[in-house]
């Protein structure tokens, strides 16, 4: 079970799900597009049962209390700052960091920027940003997989994605995500300004800098049916991790692995985090 909480920061109040007793072993879980902290429901329970204090915030733009209008307010340095502000607020000097999709991109960036704060990194789906960038520049397969980003950055994105009862967003989930979660995500995206805020993450990409090599113990999990990420970027991620590295491939699993195969994801997270427990 997890509790709904509010975490106040200088940027505003973040909504979050929290599970487990207060502990020196904190785990922060970062969701992707177009989800929320709810995507980590099964992971929160497993982590709490293992004795961790786990928190899954609704990130910038997804939390109504932190929804600035300017695209530049969604550049990576702001997203990194949010992670550190939440960790500071709950009293974590060091913490284990888990991300999926855009949450993975943020998690890689946090681990690169402030490795002294991150005990372990677990990234699901999205590879190291520089490996991804190289694939996007040179790999036709990755270029095809990422073609949707042009729509997401366009002026018509909001209307197109919400037309016909948000059919385009529903299609993203490929019937791999629990129906009640999809309903909750769509309800959030229909709130005034919410979808624009979520899309501003894509529009602000050009304001992001290099991440560099990762030195913290890292788990990267890619799935063979991930429509957004091809094998080239996934396999190249090893070149950008200087610390201990574990690469796991989930055969026959989609982009939405945390909700599609939660037991397997929980097993991997608990093994990685537990293997480096302070």
Report, as residue numbers or ranges, the catalytic residues.
101, 202, 255
The closest of 4, 12, 111 to 61, measured between CA atoms, is 12
Q: How many CB atoms lie within 10 A of CB 171?
A: 10
Give me Rg for the CA atoms of the chain.
Answer: 17
Q: Cα–Cα distance between 133 and 129 in angstroms, integer?
A: 6
- Pull the structure tokens for residue 56: 């899954």
What value, to the nearest 5°, has the Cα angle with vertex 215 and ends 9 and 213?
95
Cα atoms in the Cβ-side hemisphere of radius 13 Å centred on 24: 2
Three-class SS state of 18: strand
What are the distances in angstroms from CA 272 to CA 3, 87, 108, 180? 25, 20, 16, 29
Burial state string for 119-156 with b = 16 or more CB within 10 A and e = fewer than 16: bbbbbbbbbbbbbbbbbbeebeebeebbeeeeebbeee
């Amino acid at each position: 079970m997890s509790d709904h909480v509010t975490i106040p920061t200088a940027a505003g109040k973040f909504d979050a799900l929290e599970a487990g007793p207060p502990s020196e072993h904190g785990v922060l879980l970062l969701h992707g597009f177009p989800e929320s902290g709810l995507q980590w429901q099964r992971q929160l329970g497993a982590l709490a049962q293992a004795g961790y204090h786990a928190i899954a915030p609704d990130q910038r733009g997804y939390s109504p209390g932190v929804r600035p209008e300017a695209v530049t307010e969604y550049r990576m340095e702001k997203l990194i700052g949010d992670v550190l502000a939440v960790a500071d607020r709950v009293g974590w000097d060091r913490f284990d960091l888990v991300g999926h999709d855009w949450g993975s991109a943020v998690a890689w960036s946090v681990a690169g920027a402030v490795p002294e704060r991150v005990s372990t990194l677990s990234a699901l789906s999205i590879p190291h940003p520089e490996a991804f960038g190289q694939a996007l520049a040179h790999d036709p397969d990755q270029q095809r997989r990422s073609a949707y980003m042009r729509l997401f950055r366009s002026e018509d994105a909001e209307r197109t994605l919400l037309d016909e009862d948000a059919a385009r967003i529903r299609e993203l989930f490929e019937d791999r995500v629990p129906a009640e979660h999809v309903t909750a995500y769509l309800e959030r995206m229909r709130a005034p300004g919410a979808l624009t805020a979520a899309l501003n993450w894509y529009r602000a990409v050009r304001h992001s800098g290099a991440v560099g090599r990762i030195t913290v113990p890292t788990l990267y999990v890619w799935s063979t049916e991930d429509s957004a990420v091809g094998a080239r970027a996934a396999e190249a991620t090893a070149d950008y991790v200087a610390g201990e590295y574990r690469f796991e491939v989930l055969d026959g699993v989609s982009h939405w692995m945390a909700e599609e195969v939660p037991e397997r994801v929980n097993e991997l997270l608990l093994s990685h985090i537990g293997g480096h427990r302070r």
